[in-house]
Amino acid sequence: MKIFKVCILNIILIFLGCNTFLESKKKDLNDFKYLEIDIITLNKGYLSGEYSIEEVTQSYIDRIENIDNNGPILNSIITLNPDAISIAKSLDEELKTKGSRGHLHGIPVLLKDNIDTNDKMPTTAGSRALMDSKPLNDSKVVEKLRLAGAVILGKANLSEWANFRGRRSTSGWSGVNGQTKNPYVLSRNPCGSSSGSGVSVSANLTVLAIGTETNGSIVCPSTVNGVVGIKPTVGLISRSGIIPISYTQDTAGPMARSVQDAAICLGFLTGVDENDDKTKSSLNHAYKDYIQFLNKNGLNGKRIGVYLGPLGSNDRVDSLFKRSVELIKKMGAEIIEIETVSSFEARSHSFQVMIHEYKDGLNKYFKSLGDNAPIKDLEELIEFNKNDTIELKYFNQAYLKLAQNTDGIKSKKYLNSLSTLKRLSQKEGIDKVMDENDLDAIIAPTGSPSWSTDWFNGDNYHVSSSSPSAWAGYPVISVPMGNIHGLPVGISFFGRAWSEPTLIEISYAFEQSSKARIIPKFYPNDEY
């Protein structure tokens, strides 16, 4: 009997010990010196000597190893920059001898892996066809980040080909790096296509990340990962050296844990680029400093349109949004309800524009890789996928095939869709609604809480408000507004072309009042 009791006691102790170990492991995941640290705090630490850039960079690399590659295994990062530490050391030395280059001096940044770097890292778009692809030049975005003194930590995983390859796709999956996981609940989806960018920022694997968006690819991973994403006006940031989908809708944008950090980063990315004609339109609209627009009282006196279209699909999202609207009212804004922003007809024209521009853009991109390009054109990419054992395992390449079969960007079908899209989304869309109601901005829930990852049926989100801004090429900022059972949900602020200053002002005011961001705890599944 005594032996039996001892055995039982030992089992209990072991059980309790295991639980204690697991709890300690959970706690340890966020036992990080730089947890939730912001750019301004890092700047001060560098200048005072409290932190070194090398120390900070190494700490993030170690955290990536502990959390992304081991532990929860988020799979948010495809490759680390082997030169990151040497870059950090040189920036430390420069800080001592010449002073700081500005706010991004020594700040760790991750890049979505459709953004070219001319270094030891490939640029893959998540595709096995480009696993060894080495661009001949830095993208303009990377050129500006390096000039600002940022430390490029590595490349973030993404929905392969920015989630424009085939139907029933699963966000965050790529042939190169597999499935990126949501840091709040690992069995749930990170959204995309800037999946790794959103996850890495949220999980404190970096200070900043750069995403890209054609429709929803910055703001959706921002909402489900509890971070801030700025999708700017098309043309504010150069797209040269970014693997394209649509010349009309594509843009890069910053992702961060705060509006302040995202705004700081945005200012370093703007400017005219002779290799991207769209940027010429940013003259007299772009700023190098968006910090000046941070205003805690920025909602006072503003007229805000509440877009009702995305409501009605999820009562919990609706409830969070209504509370946010009430908060915005309390902060001095006038609320005007808006039933429709853009005609639904714009959707089909946007799709036609995308598939026509996709073929043209991809073929030009493959040509930019030079004679040693692993893939020479879209037709060759389609054949590669057919013969690969992994690429078509879970979803198809219908959009690549549709793009290949188009008549090009000089066809009547394309030109008609392009002109109709611009008219419906701009003049008769956002511009009209804002003029008629004298609005400073429009708000809507960004999306639904994260859904369970499903490789066979694809994504299952049921709330989205990104399309009106995407179709028009206009800016939108997503900011955390609360959570549903521990899963973050964001609110979107959008408006006219070049209205980034106003959107930063009001989104910052909301963020500072709501304080809605929560730190992920890496639960394995919904049973937490």
Q: Is 157 helix (H, G, I), strand (E, B) or coil?
A: coil
End-to-end CA distance of the chain: 37
Catalytic residue among 112, 144, 278, 359: 112
- d(C-alpha 138, C-alpha 152), whole Å: 12
Q: Is 217 a catalytic residue?
A: yes
- d(C-alpha 475, C-alpha 261), whole Å: 17
- The residues with which 491 forms a beta bridge, in sequence order, are 445, 479
Catalytic residue among 169, 193, 238, 448: 193
* C-alpha to C-alpha distances, 455 to 78, 112, 392, 448, nearest whole angstrom: 19, 21, 11, 19
Angle, nearest 10°, between helix axes 53-63 and 84-97?
160
Q: Is 324 a catalytic residue?
A: no
**Phi, psi (deg, nearest 5) at residue 117:** -130, 135
- Which helix (H) or strand (E) segment holds residue 483: the answer is strand 476-484
Catalytic residue among 127, 217, 417, 425: 217
Per the structure block, which two tokens stand in for 216?
A: 């929803």
- The residues with which 210 forms a beta bridge, in sequence order, are 111, 254
- d(C-alpha 318, C-alpha 306), whole Å: 12
Q: In 3D, which of 135, 290, 268, 143 has the Cα closest to residue 208?
A: 268
- The residues with which 316 forms a beta bridge, in sequence order, are none
- Residues 275/140, Cβ–Cβ less than 8 Å: yes
- The residues with which 110 forms a beta bridge, in sequence order, are 154, 209
- The residues with which 303 forms a beta bridge, in sequence order, are 334
Q: Is 499 a catalytic residue?
A: no
- Other beta carbons less than 10 A from residue 101's beta carbon: 16
Catalytic residues: 112, 193, 217
